[in-house]
Amino acid sequence: MMAADIPDTWQMRSVESVCTRVTTGGTPSRRRPDFFVNGTIPWFKTGELKDRLLFDSEEHITEEALESSSAKVFPANTVLMAMYGDGDTITTLGVLRRPAATNQACCAMMPDPDTCDWRYLFYALKHTRPALLRVVVGGAQRNLSGTIIRQHEFPLPPLAEQKAIAAVLGALDDKIELNRRMNATLEAMARALFQSWFVDFDPVRAKLDGRAPFPLPVGEGQGEGASGLPAALDLATAALFPEHLEETALGHTPKGWEVRSLDQTAHYLNGLALQKYPPGDGPTLPVIKIAQLRKGDSVGADRCNTDLRPEYIVQDGDVLFSWSGSLEVELWCGGPGALNQHLFKVTSPEFPKWFYYLWTLYHLDEFRLIAADKATTMGHIQRGHLTAAKVLIPPRALLDAMTRTMSPLIDQLIANRVQSRTLATLRDTLLPKLLSGELSVAAATCKQELQVQLGATKP
């Protein structure tokens, strides 16, 4: 982008000219495992950036680790960029929302608050990422020098306009982040309930011990049970559990529950070799491969024609299972696509989605171990492993009661992900228009003007 391409009141500025400090982090010695045990200082790595706000890290380091290494604590609102990594990691961004440390592969940029809004800097770097990617060097492990980042230029409007732009884009990202956190809670709740019902048999064991199958409500008839759901609902479901365990092929399981193979509860449809369906002059679909499954969208995916049977077309909410390479089980929410080979689309005419999704997820660690043992070939599982994996099926009345609890969790999780995809599309549409000055965000008329220019309303 050139200065001639931006409004007269804007400037092209370098990163170092708008920051009080541009530096890198450091890694405490891995020879001292205690540096990473019971630490209180968040310590971020490049794989955690993912173009979003950063509230907490996967690892925490101790004060001793900080003092014994080149690691340093950066203040909140520091913008981070991945200087090393593969094509999916290099130049990804994050913003610290609390003081934290980083490894040496993160470039830390601390904007001068009187010159550059921190969130605007984040969006400006995201907008001008293609220029940085053009100067990345290396093969599988790519890298970008700190000097290049410091000298990198981007369009900078007056501070008030920066804040207005950041507010528009930030509102969308804040909702996406809220959805992400909500989904983490929903997923944890669904897994906890599944563990309690199908693995630990908590309601059955409670009845055996003469205890209430779930904790009673907090307060006078109000509150929530152990699952985080209304306790009255928990109690109604618990009443349908049996009072005894019996010996089965899986050990002691609830009396009257059926044992089946995983592939007897759901249909695992393998995808197609979609290179045989090349795009033509007509409509096309993105090809959903393992890479798309892992990142959750089809941006940049290969395309194929639409001459496919309906069952090979993936829709939002479908359960996908990659059985080769990187084994993953996901609720797909990346929009319509075509099912590629090495992926199963999992469906069932008999059982609800939550049931076969969580049971497949339950066996995932076992499947990964099986795949890891195939050292001479790309790790994978075979259909025989689906047969060997067993599932417990409660009586229909109890299954229906479980579904009344579980399905809303899964449905809300899917709805949140689909909404986040829509919001991300809107954000990515607005970003280049706002960062080039093509779209005005004057404070008093921001909302109305955006609607008009996006075609949502008439002037």
Which pLDDT does position 232 carry in this prediction? 53
* Residue position matching structure tokens 């024609």: 305
Which pLDDT does position 216 carry in this prediction? 41
Which pLDDT does position 223 carry in this prediction? 40
Measured between alpha carbons, how far is 419 from 388 in angstroms, rounded to an integer? Answer: 37
| Confidence band, pLDDT 50/70/90 cuts, at residue 442 | low
Q: Which of 56-65, 215-224, 343-352, 356-365 has the lowest mean pLDDT?
A: 215-224
Q: Which of 116, 151, 112, 111 is nearest to 132 (CA)?
A: 151
Q: Which of 57-66, 153-162, 227-236, 293-302 has the lowest mean pLDDT?
A: 227-236
| Confidence band, pLDDT 50/70/90 cuts, at residue 85 | confident
Sheet holding 100-102, edge to edge: 59-61, 41-44, 100-102, 73-74
Which pLDDT does position 218 carry in this prediction? 34
* Cα atoms in the Cβ-side hemisphere of radius 13 Å centred on 441: 20
Element at 429 (helix H, strand E): helix 396-435
The pLDDT tens digits for 156-176 are 999 999 999 999 999 999 999
Which pLDDT does position 452 carry in this prediction? 46
66 alpha carbon, distance to own chain's centre:
29
Asked whether the predicted pLDDT for residue 433 surpasses 70, the reply is: yes
Q: Are strands 79-82 and 93-96 parallel, antiparallel or unpaired?
A: antiparallel
Buried b (16+ CB within 10 A) or exposed e, 403-428: bebbeebbeebbebbbebbebbeebe
Helix, strand, or coil here: 51? coil
Asked whether the predicted pLDDT for residue 87 surpasses 80, the reply is: no
| Confidence band, pLDDT 50/70/90 cuts, at residue 365 | very high
- Count of H helices and E strands in the chain? 14, 26
Which pLDDT does position 214 carry in this prediction? 63
Which pLDDT does position 142 carry in this prediction? 86
- Do 391 and 265 touch, CB atoms closer than 8 A? yes
pTM of the model: 0.86
User: Which amino acid type is present at position 194?
Assistant: F
Which pLDDT does position 220 carry in this prediction? 34
| Percentages of the chain per state (helix, strand, coil), in multiples of 5 | 40, 20, 35
